[in-house]
């Protein structure tokens, strides 16, 4: 993982993707953890179910930092009664301004039945278009693959698109493996 301020938005060691299609939204992540150029663990779980099963989140970056952010987001979700956007905006404010939190080096992809967001320590709460979001070192590969599949493989479910996109990213990104964890929410707003 790099510590150069110019490259903080590119985290090495993971790929997270979320695909929203039809009545489902999924979030998937690989299991590889690296330290420098060495694989330390191949079966890490970088996806979490939040807010009693009403939201999902995945992280890229420092594991300890991400776990802290998951806890903070869960607290914000409780505080704002499951309102994902409000909870994420409040977390981003704290993340950017709190002396301790602003040192956390991670990014998060967070979804609920209505919204898909990317959060960063720069104070970003982004809602990309097109039903696909991604983060991590293999994120752009997975994003490109998923967008192409959304247009060309119209019969594939969100789950199958995410899995295919993750496998493509794993074939290209040396920091991504094929030990994929996937969580799904159904009954989403279209």
CA distances from 42 to 90, 112, 146 (A): 33, 27, 23
Whether 14 is catalytic is: yes
Q: 38 - beta bridge partners?
A: 35
Q: Are 53 and 188 in contact (CB under 8 A)?
A: no
Tell me phi and psi for residue 84, to 5 degrees: -60, -50
With the C-alpha atoms ordered 121, 124, 126, 132, is the resulting torsion angle positive or negative? negative
Write down the catalytic residue from 10, 14, 97, 176: 14
DSSP assigned state of 179: -
Q: Can you read off the two tokens belonging to residue 73?
A: 């987001």
Would strands 55-61 and 47-50 be described as parallel, antiparallel, or unpaired? antiparallel
- Describe the strand order of the beta sheet including 181-186 as a list of residue ranges: 132-136, 15-21, 24-29, 181-186
Q: Which of left, alpha, beta for 152 (phi over 0: left; psi -120 to 50: alpha)? A: alpha
Q: Can you read off the two tokens belonging to residue 98?
A: 């709190």
> Which of the residues are catalytic?
14
């Amino acid at each position: 993982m790099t510590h150069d301020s110019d490259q903080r938005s590119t985290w090495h060691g993971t790929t997270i993707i979320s695909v929203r299609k039809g009545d489902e939204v999924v979030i998937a992540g690989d299991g590889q953890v690296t330290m420098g150029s060495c694989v330390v663990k191949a079966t890490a779980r970088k996806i979490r179910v939040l807010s009693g099963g009403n939201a999902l989140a995945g992280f890229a970056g420092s594991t300890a930092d991400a776990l802290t952010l998951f806890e903070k987001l869960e607290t914000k979700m409780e505080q704002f009664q499951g309102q994902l956007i409000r909870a994420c905006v409040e977390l981003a404010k704290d993340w950017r301004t709190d002396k301790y939190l602003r040192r956390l080096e991670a990014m998060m992809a967070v979804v609920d039945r209505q919204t898909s967001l990317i959060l960063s320590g720069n104070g970003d709460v982004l809602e990309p278009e097109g039903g696909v979001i991604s983060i991590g070192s293999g994120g752009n590969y997975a994003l490109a693959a998923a967008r192409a599949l959304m247009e060309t493989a119209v019969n594939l479910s969100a789950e199958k698109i995410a899995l295919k996109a993750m496998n493509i990213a794993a074939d290209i990104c040396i920091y991504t493996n094929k030990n994929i964890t996937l969580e799904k929410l159904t009954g989403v707003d279209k």
